Structure 1
């Protein structure tokens, strides 16, 4: 059913749940698993990220740690990709590049309250792929 699964996470609890679902699905369907973390440069203000290589480096280090954790938990190989930009756009672009059959992500992220998060909503609305939120 699924040949290529993309999981996108920000390290939040829902993002971790999404990773677990993606790992299980990839294992069940013997699918390729790709994991991405997008450094949302707009969230922190372009000038903050641009003016300080240290801030960007710290954000990238966090993303790489999260992606490494997913790979360590998986029983399948995980292709990892760290990106910068608007998360829903980067998730959509990567899904297109790898021809993902399914995108898995948390229903809200680090900054969300009780309702669906803005990134999850935008991915569901604008990315032309099946999406599973956890």
Structure 2
């Protein structure tokens, strides 16, 4: 049913639940799992301004660590994994990457790190669901 699965992460508890579901589906269907972490440039200072560069590097390092954790879990299960860490607006980059790899499904957490309301879907997940032309599994 699925050959290519994309999971987004920001290190949140909901993203981790999404990763579990993505790994289960990838294992069940023999799919390749792609993971994406987006350094949200709309939330950080212009990297050319000095302190913004430090913040951007720190966030990128965290993203690489999150992707490395997913890769290890995938490797332990024998699942092929491709990680992508990029800069931009998370919803736009997730949709762009899903299109680039022709993902069969995108798996996202219900809410991310920056979400403060408990009963509403996170803005990144909401934007992806509204703008992508493929199935999205919201966990």
TM-score between the two structures when normalised by the length of structure 2: 0.91
State the match for 1:87 in structure 2: 90
CA-to-partner distance for each residue in 1:29-88, whole Å, 9 max, x for gaps? Answer: 0001100000001022x43x3423221111110000000011111211210000110101
SS in 2 for 1:10: coil
Of stretches 106-115 and 95-104 in structure 1, the one that deviates more from structure 2 is 106-115
Over aligned residues, Cα RMSD in angstroms? 1.0
State the match for 1:67 in structure 2: 67
TM-score between the two structures when normalised by the length of structure 1: 0.95
Count of aligned positions? 132
For 1:51 and 1:90, how far apart are their aligned partners in 2?
A: 24
SS in 2 for 1:91: helix
For 2:22 and 2:129, how far apart are their aligned partners in 1?
A: 17
State the match for 2:11 in structure 1: 11
Consecutive aligned runs of 4 or more in structure 1 exceeding 4 Å deviation:
none
SS in 2 for 1:119: helix
For 2:29 and 2:86, how far apart are their aligned partners in 1?
A: 27
Which runs of no fewer than 5 residues in structure 2 stay unpaired? none
